[in-house]
Amino acid sequence: MKTAIIGLGNMGKGLARRLAGKTDLVVAGRNEAAARDFASSVGATSTSIADAVASAEIVVLALPYAAALEFAANPALAGKVVVDLSNPVKPDFSGLSIGHETSAGERIQAAAGQARVVKAFNTIFAGLFDTPVAATRSVPVFLAGNDEGAVAAVESLAAKAGFATEKAGGLEAARLLEPLGMLNIRFGYGLGRGTAIAPTWLAVAA
């Protein structure tokens, strides 16, 4: 399945570096020249945002929440697997702007109509993409989505990117995953733990 990464901030570039050469990958951003240069540096391809969406089966919205919500209304996303990795953080990073009764993932699904939205990658820092793959094999990407086939596709993508996975259930579970992402941000920045951290889930032997 071809994967398009829309947005080339730290998360988009990091994920692209992990996936380049492991899946059919195209990257796109508002600055097409910069996207071409980056794609060339990692061995991926680049094109316009419109062409990237049209050609891909999986579209990763590597965008801040507000931008992802706006992009989700693009009718070209209908029928595609759409990956939302955003956290709806307040401008001062003091907490989430929405949560518990809804989520960024659910709002993006509502805006995207017939797309199949999967919440993923929102609980890890971009810096983890630049660590050796061996260091992240046990780091989970938490997945939430209403379509089993879409969740399975993103599960495979996360594995190719060098991560473990944990399925959290339907997309309403994004109401739990986004606060978890915010907690990771608080540990990393507010409490000085740095960005080489990630939440995980352990089975404790009796």
Q: What is the mean pLDDT of each run of 10 residues along the chain (206 residues)?
A: 96 97 96 96 96 98 98 97 97 92 98 97 96 96 98 98 98 98 95 95 84
Q: Which CATH architecture has domain 3-190?
A: 3-Layer(aba) Sandwich (3.40)
Residue 63: the pLDDT is 98
Q: Token pair of 22, please? A: 């492991």
| Residue with token string 């061995």 | 43
Question: CB–CB of 183/199 below 8 Å?
Answer: yes
Residue 206: the pLDDT is 75
Residue 75: the pLDDT is 97
Closest CA to 200 of 107, 123, 118: 123
- Distance between CA atoms of 102 and 176, rounded to whole angstroms? 10
Tell how far CA 73 is from the center of its chain: 18
Residue 86: the pLDDT is 98
| Domain parsing of the chain, residue ranges | 3-190
Question: CB–CB of 156/13 below 8 Å?
Answer: no
- Distance between CA atoms of 95 and 160, rounded to whole angstroms? 31
Residue 205: the pLDDT is 81
> Strand 3-6 to strand 25-28: parallel, antiparallel, or no bridges (unpaired)?
parallel
